């Protein structure tokens, strides 16, 4: 029993084959070993490669590698010209600029001097008044009973129990 081809498939292999051009034949030229070596040697000389017909391990691949150092060293941004450099350049000529940082520093010094003076003044004030009591900062006066006796101050708990 023969199988019928599907009506959708077009079978025309012969036509397709004819469209492909025939592959050209390679010319076979016999070359002597010495001539081939000479060729390789010349090739190496021209392209500045290492001529190594015995294939010895000469480590030339290390010399062929590119240096990675400059690329690695250029990763972080380097310091460029700063405003400070400009100031330093023109300072010997007597040209000064407004330096905000320096201004802030001087202001801070001024502030600290004022603070110290203030502290000194406070100390002198305290010394002149001789005690805290005179400035109304002393301990509160003790509680007095009807008999005119002073309740002994011996702790918070005991005092709370005493009748008024």
Binding site residues, another protein, CB under 8 A: 56-63, 65, 67-70, 72-73, 75-80
Q: Which lies closer to another protein via its Cβ, residue 75 or residue 156?
A: 75
Residue 79 Cβ vs another protein, minimum distance, rounded to whole Å: 5
In angstroms, the CA 63 to CA 61 distance is: 5
Residue 108 Cβ vs another protein, minimum distance, rounded to whole Å: 25
- Which residue has tokens 């990675």? 68
Q: Which lies closer to another protein via its Cβ, residue 15 or residue 65?
A: 65
Alpha-carbon distances of 81 from 47, 70, 78, 97, 125, rounded to whole Å: 44, 22, 10, 16, 53
Residue 101 Cβ vs another protein, minimum distance, rounded to whole Å: 17
Q: By three-state DSSP, how is residue 131 classified?
A: coil
Q: Which lies closer to another protein via its Cβ, residue 1 or residue 73?
A: 73
In sign, the C-alpha dihedral spanning 121, 126, 129, 133 is positive
Residue 68 Cβ vs another protein, minimum distance, rounded to whole Å: 6
- Which residue has tokens 């190496």? 44
Q: Which lies closer to another protein via its Cβ, residue 22 or residue 69?
A: 69
């Amino acid at each position: 029993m023969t199988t019928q081809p599907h009506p959708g498939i077009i079978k025309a292999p012969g036509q397709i084959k004819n469209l492909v051009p025939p592959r050209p034949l390679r010319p076979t030229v016999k070359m002597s070993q010495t001539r081939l070596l000479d060729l390789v040697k010349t090739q190496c000389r021209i392209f500045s490669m290492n001529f190594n017909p015995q294939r010895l391990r000469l480590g030339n691949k290390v010399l062929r590698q590119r240096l990675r150092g400059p690329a690695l060293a250029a990763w972080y941004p380097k310091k460029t010209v700063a405003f400070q450099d400009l100031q330093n350049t023109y300072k010997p000529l007597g040209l000064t600029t407004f330096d905000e940082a320096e201004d802030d520093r001087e202001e801070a010094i001024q502030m600290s001097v004022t603070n110290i003076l203030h502290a000194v003044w406070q100390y002198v004030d305290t010394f002149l008044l001789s005690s805290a009591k005179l400035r109304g900062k002393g301990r509160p006066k003790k509680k007095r009973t009807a008999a005119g006796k002073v309740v002994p101050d011996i702790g918070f708990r005991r005092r709370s129990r005493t009748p008024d």
